[in-house]
């Protein structure tokens, strides 16, 4: 049963199974094939469960917009190409990315076990989700992982003021003893595009340094930044990382850069279509035969971070996960009402 937290009247608490049912019904009403409904619902509910508002149920609206624009193939069947080498290739066939990743994951794990490292190349996918669900799916097999993907050309390079890069997230995961891996997932832009959209919908200003308006002047207005350009985090450092993502997850794998993705969009304003590169590493193969000692060394490092009172990446998200599992998943009431209209 849905309830409202007493200290947050703007939120509703929804059991995970109930929210999953609502999300699946919304996706099915969009006309998506059953396998896509299941795969997409998992990542959307996971995002909301972990209090990642920009990648939770809000993304149903992004999916709806992409479907309504006629860009996404609703019944796309990803094709997986496996060779004797470490590279697994998946053609998403212009469908959403979660199913393409699910179909390629078993082959990626097998290739990594066999060669010590593996690469999953996903092409021609509409990608809207966070990368950490994919990273966690790989670390669950005891593997380390790195994922890169471009998006639409929304971000200006350091020293420039015209959109060129995508938000170009990078995610990394390291398997750990216990329930949670070490994971980070962040955009190379100063703020994620989803967060910009949430600020726009709420009529709230962004922090300084997130973007410029159409005239190239600094702005905190999400509407003006959307008309101008977002900025990379950390100036030239974030800009260089964004360039790396364009090269590695665009040019290297034979898929679109963020500029080319935006050109394909042709003004529809929907979820970007491009490729993704996922790399996996087997610690047992890299450790020189002493995996336990290297795992202990890694734990010593991570424990030394938290011993100083510092927080590891994703600790807040993992805490939200436990809270959601105990109390229900928190969803903004206004957004929840909007989602219910998608299934009515």
**Quick one: which of 236, 227, 189 has its CA closest to 210?**
189
**Cα–Cα distance measured from residue 240 to residue 95, given in angstroms and rounded to the nearest whole number:** 30
Q: What is the dihedral angle through the alpha carbons of 108, 114, 115, 119, rounded to the nearest 10 degrees?
A: 0
Q: In the annotation, is 274 catalytic?
A: no
Q: Is 151 exposed, middle or buried (0-12, 13-18, 19+ CB in 10 A)?
A: buried
List CB contacts of 202: < 8 A, sequence separation 6 or more: none
- List 54, 258, 261, 314, catalytic entry: 54
**Cα–Cα distance measured from residue 97 to residue 102, given in angstroms and rounded to the nearest whole number:** 9
- Contact in structure between 19 and 329 (CB atoms under 8 Å): yes
Supply 274's token pair: 């491009």
- List 50, 91, 185, 195, catalytic entry: 195
**Cα–Cα distance measured from residue 34 to residue 43, given in angstroms and rounded to the nearest whole number:** 15
- List 36, 46, 55, 324, catalytic entry: 55
Q: In the annotation, is 195 catalytic?
A: yes
**Cα–Cα distance measured from residue 23 to residue 64, given in angstroms and rounded to the nearest whole number:** 12
| Region at 144 (left for phi over 0; alpha for psi -120 to 50; beta for the rest) | beta
State which H helix or E strand residue 218 sits in: strand 218-219
Q: In the annotation, is 314 catalytic?
A: no
One DSSP character per residue, 229-254 reads EEEBTTTHHHHHHHHHHHIIIIITTT
**Quick one: which of 134, 145, 161, 150 has its CA closest to 262?**
150
Partners of 186 in the β-ladder: 170
Active site residues: 54-55, 195
């Amino acid at each position: 049963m849905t309830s409202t937290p007493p200290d947050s009247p703007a939120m509703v608490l929804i059991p995970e199974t109930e929210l999953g049912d609502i999300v699946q019904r919304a996706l099915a009403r969009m006309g998506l094939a059953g396998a896509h409904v299941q795969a997409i619902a998992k990542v959307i509910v996971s995002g909301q469960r972990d209090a990642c508002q920009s990648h939770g149920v809000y993304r149903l609206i992004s999916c709806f917009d992409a479907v309504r624009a006629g860009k996404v193939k609703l019944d796309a069947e990803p094709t997986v190409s496996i060779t004797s080498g470490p590279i697994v290739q998946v053609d998403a066939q212009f469908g959403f990315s979660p199913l393409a990743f699910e179909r390629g994951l078993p082959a990626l794990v097998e290739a990594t076990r066999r060669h010590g490292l593996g690469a999953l190349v996903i092409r021609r996918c509409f990608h809207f989700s966070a990368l950490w669900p994919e990273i966690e799916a790989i670390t669950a097999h005891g593997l380390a992982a790195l994922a890169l993907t471009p998006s639409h050309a929304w971000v200006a390079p350091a020293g420039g003021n015209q959109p060129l890069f995508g938000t170009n997230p990078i995610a990394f995961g390291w398997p750990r003893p216990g329930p949670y891996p070490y994971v980070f997932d962040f955009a190379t832009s100063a703020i994620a595009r989803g967060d910009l959209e949430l600020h726009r919908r709420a009529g709230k200003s962004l922090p300084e340094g997130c973007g410029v308006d159409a005239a190239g002047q600094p702005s905190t207005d999400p509407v003006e930044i959307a008309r101008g350009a977002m900025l990379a985090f950390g100036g030239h450092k974030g800009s260089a990382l964004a360039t790396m993502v364009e090269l590695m997850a665009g040019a290297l794998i034979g898929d679109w850069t963020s500029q080319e993705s935006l050109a394909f969009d042709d003004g529809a304003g929907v979820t970007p279509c491009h490729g993704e590169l996922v790399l996996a590493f087997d610690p047992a193969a890299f450790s020189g035969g002493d995996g336990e000692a290297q795992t202990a060394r890694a734990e010593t490092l991570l424990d030394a971070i938290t011993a100083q009172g510092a927080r590891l990446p994703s600790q807040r998200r993992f805490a939200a996960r436990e809270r959601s599992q105990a109390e229900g998943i928190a969803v903004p009431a206004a957004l929840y009402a909007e989602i219910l209209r998608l299934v009515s």
